[in-house]
Amino acid sequence: MNAPNFETLIYQADQQYAEIHFNRPHRLNAVVEQFYTELLAALSLAGQDPAIRAVILTGVGRAFCVGADLKEHGAGQRTAYQRRQYLQLGNDVCEKIFRLSKPVVAAINGYALGAGAEMAVSCDFVLMAESAQIGFPEVSIGTSVGGGVTQILPRLVGLRKARELLFQGTRINGTEAQRIGLVTQVCPDAELLDRARRFALELAGKAPVSMAVVKNLLNHATAQDFATQLQLELDGVFSCTVTEDWREGVNAFAGKRAPQFKGY
């Protein structure tokens, strides 16, 4: 597929993964309404492209995303309804990342604050540069978190640590974020994007149908009782066994070779 011309993003499709670069470096990639609508479109594009099997989110310049562009918001005149619609867009983006059938990797290259941290938490994996910082300043500035953070964050770091991060709004570096389970890997700054690309390629080599099934099962596990989850897993296994990729996986294992999955 041809890469679209976004104004607030750079979309690149390379090999079997897509890179979405947040591209408002003059505002440290702070979010505005256009950013959200373009990011939803970019995620949909990656989700619908059968050649794409993983997605990387990262930022241009010194930040991943520092949250809402308060300067632009302060200059505008929104009705209460328009404010609600803008906030809904933020939730829609995080939900899109969370529910995308393909794994999403956040490569945090600088500050990930507020909405930036919310998007990162929604991703399946987070790689973080050594100099980067992540934090949730919402309570400190009189607002609240969104994007499913109050459900996802405690699952990652535990309820007490989630309270600490959200109530105090403390920024933490990659080393601490990895220690508490918030981050998958910490990388030297210069190696971050290369590491994220290698990680995405490794994910892209797995069976796409199986990946989508397991992601969905993991995402919704806490909402089900054990008996229901067992049945959903059974359905998931059966769904995989009717694909060509299941046969390829079996044959590759028997032949002691790497499988070549097609996504069906």
With a cut of 90, say whether residue 258 has pLDDT above it: yes
State the pLDDT at residue 78.
79
Q: What is the pLDDT of residue 70?
A: 80
The whole-number pLDDT of residue 2 equals: 61
Domains identified in the chain and CATH numbers = 9-204 (3.90.226.10), 208-254 (1.10.12)
The catalytic residue among 19, 33, 118, 233 is 118
**138 included as an active-site residue:** yes
How are beta strands 133-135 and 185-187 bridged, if at all? Answer: unpaired
pLDDT band of residue 73 (cuts 50, 70, 90) is low
The predicted pLDDT at position 202 comes to 96
Q: Does the structure show a pLDDT above 90 at 18?
A: yes
Strand positions, DSSP E, 96-241: 104-108, 111-113, 125-129, 133-135, 172-173, 185-187
Average pLDDT over residues 234-256: 96
Nearest to 24 by CA among 14, 36, 16: 36
How high does pLDDT run on average in the chain?
95
Whose structure tokens read 């939900």?
95
Q: 1 pLDDT exceeds 60?
A: no
Whole-model pTM? 0.94
Neighbours of 242 (CB within 10 A): 9
Catalytic-labelled residue, pool 138, 176, 202, 244: 138
**Mean pLDDT for the stretch of residues 9-38:** 96
| pLDDT per residue as tens digits for the range 146-192 | 999 999 999 999 999 999 999 999 999 999 999 999 999 999 999 99
